Amino acid sequence: MSRATQPRDLVPCTTSVKTTAVLLAAVTLSCAAGVGASSASAAGAPTPTTQQAPSTSGGAVAPASTTTPASGTPGVPKTIPDAPARVRAVVTRFALSASSWATGNAAPTIDLRIDARRATAARVQVRVEDRTTRKIVLRQSFGVVRSGVDVQSAVTKRLLALPGRYRLRLIVRDQTGRRTVKARGLQVTAAPAAASTPTGVAGYVFPVQGACNFRSLDAQRFHSAREAGRAHNGQDIGTYSGFPPVVAVTAATVDSVFYDDAGGGWTIVFDGDDGVAYGYLHLKAGSIVVQPGQRVAAGQRVANAGNTGGDYEPHLHFEMRPIPWSAHRADAVDPMPLLLKLPNPCDG
């Protein structure tokens, strides 16, 4: 039998297989690309882009990035607090509207302003210093003041009850910790109310709330003689060996709380609404529950009787002077007429 011959017009099998494989690969890639494109275009959703939120002034850290559509509509960033910059602040204005103040006149106005090269803030306080004694008699806080802002405030009315010559010191502490001091003078010519013993008992409460006595020893009475020619300026109310509560004798404002290392120990001074300054001395350490500037009502607990300041038996030294306390040591009045009028637990 003769060998069969292949027709000349037919493509060999191997060539056909290779061509088919190439065509299938092309079609597959084309379909994959078409599916990805059609899914995005059919949904009509633009490709999202990422936009960083702008940083704030003062070196605050920007929040995490927000997603913004490709159409250009900005996203909503988180709220960023306004942090004061840690830069130095300069006092560019500190002035008083008047250099003197008298009864019946409006309180002078304090004008101040701080500036800095970046937005910042500083803590501001005005200290009222007696020019004669060089002691601070009052503090007026302005809190935190922002840079670039004009601030105005009237001088505290409490100063009207303290006639004298004063230096108002402006204390500014900025974010770097730097302290700036400026000063202005002020003359106060208002007359203080004269101390006197109240005529009634309404609005007054006996200051010791516990077992007590009036310590009838002459040395504990008002104006009894002391060493170096001094006089005892108050009345001692003995509390035996206990430390009972002591209360405000009448409605008042706490003038000062301090430790008197000359013998008074822990002390509270009240400026009474009746125009009298009341002093509570030898209070128990750690028992004081009021602070300067606080209002107190008659009968409100303020501390406990004690024996601080010396080798004493527990008692309350109760003293009455004209306002201001620090300027009228020689003008103290006898508290016994008032104390004897008030219902009290003392037994002698």
Summarize pLDDT for 123-168 with one digit per residue, the tens: 999 999 998 888 898 888 888 899 999 999 999 888 887 888 999 9
Q: How far apart are CA 45 and CA 221, in angstroms?
A: 94
Q: How far apart are CA 336 and CA 348, in angstroms?
A: 13
Place of tokens 């508290």: 335
Average pLDDT over residues 79-103: 86
Q: How far apart are CA 179 and CA 172, in angstroms?
A: 6
Quickly state the pLDDT bin for 238 (edges 50, 70, 90).
confident
Most confident stretch, 21-25, 80-84, 198-202, 222-226:
80-84
**pTM of the predicted model over 0.85:** no
Q: Where are the extended beta strands (E) located within 174-275?
A: 179-188, 234-238, 245-247, 252-260, 265-272
DSSP 8-state symbol, 324: S
Tallying the residues shown for the chain, one arrives at 348
Residue-wise pLDDT tens digits, 160-207? 878 889 999 999 999 999 999 999 999 988 655 555 555 557 899 999
What are the DSSP calls for 214-226, one per residue? ---SGGGSTT-B-
- From the CB of residue 202, how many other CB atoms can be counted at a distance below 10 Å? 8
Q: How far apart are CA 97 and CA 109, in angstroms?
A: 5
pLDDT for position 221: 56
- Distances in Å between the Cα of 171 and the Cα atoms of 13, 181, 182, 188, 291 are 101, 5, 7, 21, 21
Token pair belonging to 291: 């602070």
Q: How far apart are CA 236 and CA 196, in angstroms?
A: 19
- Return the closest-CA partner of residue 267 out of 244, 284, 248: 284
Task: Output the average pLDDT for the chain.
Answer: 77
Q: How far apart are CA 118 and CA 107, in angstroms?
A: 34
Residue-wise pLDDT tens digits, 277-308? 999 999 999 999 999 999 999 999 999 999 99
**Which residues on adjacent β-strands are paired with residue 187?**
100, 165
Q: How far apart are CA 263 and CA 297, in angstroms?
A: 28
pLDDT for position 335: 87
Q: Greater confidence, 273 or 28?
A: 273
